Structure 1
Amino acid sequence: MANLINVAKLAGVSRATAARAFSSPESLRPETHRRVVEAARALGFRPNKVAQQLRAQATLMLGVMVPSLDNPVFAEQLQAMEEAARAAGYSLIVTTSSYEPSREEAIVEEMLRQRVDGLALTVADADHSAVLAKLRRENTPCLLVHNPPATSYFSSVGVDNHTAMADATRHLIALGHRRIGMIGGPLLQSDRARLRHEGYREAMVAAGLTSLPLIEMPRHTQVALSQLEPVLGGADGLTAVLCTNDLLAISLIGELRRSGRSVPGDLSVMGFDGIELGRHLYPSLSTVVQPRAEFGRVAVETLLALIRGEDPQPRPLPHVLREGESAGSPPAPYQAPEPSVS
């Protein structure tokens, strides 16, 4: 089996020079580096990256925890994070928590054991998180993604969930809706959902309208129409529904159409996230667009700054409203037909 001494002999350099070709190539002349790399390729030699990391006291790995990969928001974010990390010489260790706080601690403990250089986490509830309380006692830099800035002092990358959902609510009000509801997954599993509901409630109250409690679904991305039926139809039924994420909105549109209802004819639907799938539906989804790729890039840049010992203070990322076909004017009030005159 080829080793570094064999590579050095074939390249005509010392063992130390051959080692620097892999650990600090910028310290060598280009021609010397080329000879070492070609010799390694010819002999089938691969440097021991783990040994290099141990000597440098850095693994060049970032631990990333997201709730799920079912939601394209997290998948698109991870792709951008991987590209940004690779450009900086880092790799990602990615895992999912299924929105379960009990899993978060086990996941983070395992990543700490792997000596990751930094952590980028999306937790269920940042202000009441056991794992974040534990991480305050650790030296590993930690960044929150999607979570609002926590009282636990960790930096956070995300949009202003409160303001974004308030903007979405005002959009529906401007279309003429007065009876607007909101649905989401289990409220205790998502601080983002709570902030979005607060934004909805604020916009409704400011417009002199009645806000309703969040209608909770058993899952974050799937609608149980039976739980929405009591507030649909009739003179006081909802004419529009806000969803805490796009997959939930897409599920709602499907369930409504299967039940014989029209979107937006019978009910307007608005999502939150801006995933590309929403553009290709019919009706296309009206939604709040989060800059998913920007999330990933800014998250890695911020985490690397923390690793360098800096104190970055990222601002909320911008959101925009994407108008689609799923939200329109409310249906005309029902009027009983005039009795016929014989």
Structure 2
Amino acid sequence: MRPSIKQVASQAGVSIATVSRLLNKPGSVSAETAERIHQTIAALGFRPNFTGRNLRAGNSRTVGVVVPTLSNTVFAQCLQGIELAARELAYSVMFTATEYLPQDESAAVERLLSHRVDGVILTVADAGANATLDLLEHERIPYVLAYNQLSDNAPGRTAVSVDNRQAARDAVAHLIALGHTRIQMLSGQFSASDRALQRHQGYLEAMQAAQLAPLPAIEVQRHTLTAATDYQQLLADPACRPSALFCSNDLLALSAMRDLRALGLRVPQDISVMGFDGIPLGELMEPVLSSVVQPSGQIGEVALRTLVAAIENDNAGLAAAEQRRILPHAIRTGASAAAYVAPAPED
């Protein structure tokens, strides 16, 4: 059980009402008493319950969700899966976003914990080395990672994802099967996403398996914006332009298609584009976006059910098969990636 307001009051030698006054109206308690209460709160690891619900029961039937952004609909789809499953199990959901800033992850989780959520579903920049996850484990707060794919050096951590490396390898293999040999990866910054790194590894493996020379990855500042000058120059130069782009997410792929049109290039006649996520918007584009499709709604649903199982079993350890849930992906062939046609020689 987490520390209660009653324990804080008892250890600080004050009444519950005094602790409550301090939390809700700090100026109403003397400085000496406030200092003693704050020291007790820090020592016990107590977090005030601003919702005021279920204090005596020690749980709120609320889960927190931390995602990088909601501007990418892949996370909105995941959140919908979480919400529908939570509703079925009589849980509520609170969410926040980090805007792809790793340094904001801990603050986002702290905000949720201050509302006494029973557990957290989160997507982090790096699941292998992460202070936020270390904190959750130290305080025995159940959590499940969504989209982060755990490596073997992260024992005990629970995650739901697709196999990012294999999915990327399949996507690049699809481009190779279409006859492309100059394939370049366009990605958000690897430091902001371990998924992008894993997808880059899949790109490298596919190129090496086909005995093709990998091209240097193009990292752009934001996952969904492609305003980098060197990127624009690369696409404009026929001598160094790849025949196909593999993008680490669909919004990046759609942005690339926009930029290519602005440069007077046709997709897929002049350059093919492949995305990753399979967001529904891609099917509404002309041409339809070729992409790796991951089951985002199902990722959210499975993550919620896994988290609730951990909460209701008092954070008991999950079986190894439940800790590493890898869901199937698919390749949407679309029309933005087509068979390679060598450019006609110039007169």
Tell whether the structures are fold-level matches, with TM greater than 0.5: yes
Given that residues 136 and 152 in structure 1 are in contact (C-alpha distance below 8 angstroms), is that contact kept between their aligned partners in structure 2? no
Could you list the runs of 5+ residues in structure 2 that have no partner in the other structure? 1-50
Match of 2:164 among 138, 152, 161: 161
Alignment-mate amino acid for residue 205 of structure 2: E
d(CA) in 2 for partners of 1:170 and 1:185? 21
Match of 1:249 among 224, 246, 253: 253
Given that residues 60 and 89 in structure 1 are in contact (C-alpha distance below 8 angstroms), is that contact kept between their aligned partners in structure 2? yes
Residue 125 of structure 1, CA deviation:
0.9
CA RMSD of aligned residues (A): 1.6
d(CA) in 1 for partners of 2:291 and 2:146? 20
5 Å-filtered alignment, 1:199-210, equals 199-210=202-213
Match of 1:267 among 239, 261, 271: 271
Alignment-mate amino acid for residue 303 of structure 2: A
Deviates further, 220-229 or 174-183: 220-229
5 Å-filtered alignment, 1:118-133, equals 118-133=119-134
d(CA) in 2 for partners of 1:252 and 1:230? 13
5 Å-filtered alignment, 1:132-211, equals 132-149=133-150, 151=154, 153-211=156-214
Partner of 1:237: 241
Q: Deviation digits for residues 107-130 of structure 1, max 9, x if unmatched?
A: 111222221111101011111212
Residue 152 of structure 1, CA deviation:
5.7
Give the count of matched residue pairs: 288
Structure 1 residues 231 and 258: CA distance shift in structure 2, 3 A: closer
Partner of 2:298: 294
Given that residues 181 and 211 in structure 1 are in contact (C-alpha distance below 8 angstroms), is that contact kept between their aligned partners in structure 2? yes
Given that residues 127 and 152 in structure 1 are in contact (C-alpha distance below 8 angstroms), is that contact kept between their aligned partners in structure 2? no
Residue 168 of structure 1, CA deviation:
0.1
d(CA) in 1 for partners of 2:162 and 2:55? 37
5 Å-filtered alignment, 1:69-84, equals 69-84=70-85
Residue 336 of structure 1, CA deviation:
3.7
d(CA) in 1 for partners of 2:166 and 2:87? 33
Deviates further, 136-145 or 58-67: 136-145
Q: Deviation digits for residues 222-260 of structure 1, max 9, x if unmatched?
A: 112633245444355310000000000001101111211
Q: Deviation digits for residues 280-316 of structure 1, max 9, x if unmatched?
A: 1001100000101111110111111111234133420
Identity %: 47
Partner of 2:337: 327
The normalised TM-score by structure 1 is 0.81
Q: Secondary structure at the match of 1:53?
A: coil
Deviates further, 197-206 or 54-63: 54-63
Q: Secondary structure at the match of 2:138?
A: coil
Given that residues 156 and 323 in structure 2 are in contact (C-alpha distance below 8 angstroms), is that contact kept between their aligned partners in structure 1? no
* Structure having greater relative contact order (Cα 8 Å, sep ≥ 6): 2
Alignment-mate amino acid for residue 221 of structure 1: T
Partner of 1:9: none
Partner of 2:40: none
d(CA) in 2 for partners of 1:165 and 1:293? 20
d(CA) in 2 for partners of 1:334 and 1:52? 70
The structure with the larger Rg is 1
Given that residues 225 and 255 in structure 1 are in contact (C-alpha distance below 8 angstroms), is that contact kept between their aligned partners in structure 2? no
Alignment-mate amino acid for residue 75 of structure 1: A
Q: Secondary structure at the match of 1:136?
A: helix
Could you list the runs of 5+ residues in structure 1 that have no partner in the other structure? 1-49, 338-342
Residue 186 of structure 1, CA deviation:
1.1
Q: Which runs of 4+ in 1 moved over 6 A?
A: none
d(CA) in 1 for partners of 2:288 and 2:123? 29
d(CA) in 2 for partners of 1:135 and 1:51? 22
Q: Deviation digits for residues 122-167 of structure 1, max 9, x if unmatched?
A: 0111112121122220111011111112526310000000000000
d(CA) in 2 for partners of 1:81 and 1:274? 18
The normalised TM-score by structure 2 is 0.80
Partner of 2:221: 218
d(CA) in 2 for partners of 1:211 and 1:128? 28
